[in-house]
Amino acid sequence: MITHVKRAFKYRFYPTDAQTAELSRTFGCVRKVYNMALQARTEAWSVRQERVNYNATSAMLTAWKKTEELAYLSEVSSVPLQQTLRHLQGAFTNFFARRAKYPRFKSKRKSCASAEYTSSAFRYRDGKLTLAKMLEPLDIVWSRPLPEGARPSTVTVSRDASGRWFVSMLCDDIPVPMPATTAAVGIDAGITSLVTLSTGEKITNPKHERRDRARLAKAQRNLSRKAKGSANRAKARIKVAKVHARIADRRRDFLHQLTTRLVRENQTLVIEDLTVRNMVKNHTLARSISDAAWTDMRMMLEYKAQWYGRNLVVIDRWFPSSKLCSACGTIRSKMPLTVRTWTCDCGATHDRDVNAAKNILAAGLAVTVCGAGVRPQRSTPGGQSAMKQKTSRREP
């Protein structure tokens, strides 16, 4: 059972004109320092085969502030500038460990503007948060309280593409354990039904992107007609971003409600290891797969199961869940994607998705009882693509 965790609490806030100006300057300086440090590290390696670490870039930052051209870097808090250098160091660490691609430069228009403050650069007292270089506390909408007695260790301020301001506070939290239960469920992910449970329940995919597709298309058409660099184009871009934000917010809210319910009702949850990165290569279904957000759902299940003492079992993506009869264990040689209901030779009639969910649950319970590893296998048989077969089906 987890005793305490680091948990981020995100809130929306409404800055004053002075705070907007200060934060905008800070965002610009953070982006400038990140790009300059990345350029310096790239040149050092490509020209001199020299690796530059965080300490070296920190010394560079001190020298940059002393120049006339970059003296404006001293006008904002130094903490976010140091933090962006640490983030760059982490990006290179992940790159050398082959966990990520080579770090990219931050774009003024395409990057999400953000700045991170450590405890030395903000003051949190009596439910009010004041950042460095600011006289007034932020006007935060406290949609939920912080944990009792919690004090933020870091604060991240961000502005999304639609112009909304958010503050994220990282605090120590102790999750309240959920009552133990013996229930277990197998979860089969899909497109028409977002998930099908081994209990026979099918949860319909809300298709948030499709519901706002006409509104999004209209906003994008208006954007395409505006002259590049004009004020009208900037306004049209914000309208497009607001539609995207609405879709993302509704999708995230639905997934949180769904995953919390599944974790609350079941002690053991079994899912398949879906390679979404390969699935979206199917251009016919890429948009629907992205809208389903299976990766986000799995991530939510993982950390919520860890927090609340549940067991999440992940089975191999090559397990024949759809072709296996959950009654007698016979595997059919072929199962066309057009077949949604089928009858086994033993006489059992199956709904394709419900049968798959039952088989997923049985495989997960077998793994739990036998004590085998639950991490999915990375090798693929016969050099086949890791794309799941069901993604070849057209969306109705």
> Where in the sequence numbering do the catalytic residues fall?
188, 272, 353
Torsion of CA 185, 254, 294, 244, to 10 degrees: 180
In this structure, is the dihedral angle defined by the CA atoms of residues 33, 128, 4 and 186, taken in order, positive or negative? negative
Cα separation, 92 vs 298, whole angstroms: 27
Report strand pairing: 122-125 vs 128-131: antiparallel
Dihedral sign for Cα atoms in the order 64, 68, 69, 73: positive
Strand order from edge to edge, sheet including 140-141: 113-118, 154-159, 165-173, 5-13, 140-141
What CA–CA distance (Å, rounded) separates 259 from 5? Answer: 19
| Strand segments (E) across 142-284 | 154-159, 165-173, 184-189, 193-197, 202-204, 268-272
The answer to whether residues 312 and 301 touch, using CB atoms and an 8 Å cutoff, is yes
What letter does residue 209 receive in the DSSP assignment?
H
Residue 122 exposure: Cα atoms within 13 Å on the Cβ side? 26
The letter for the amino acid at 116 is E
Residue whose tokens read 């409600």: 257
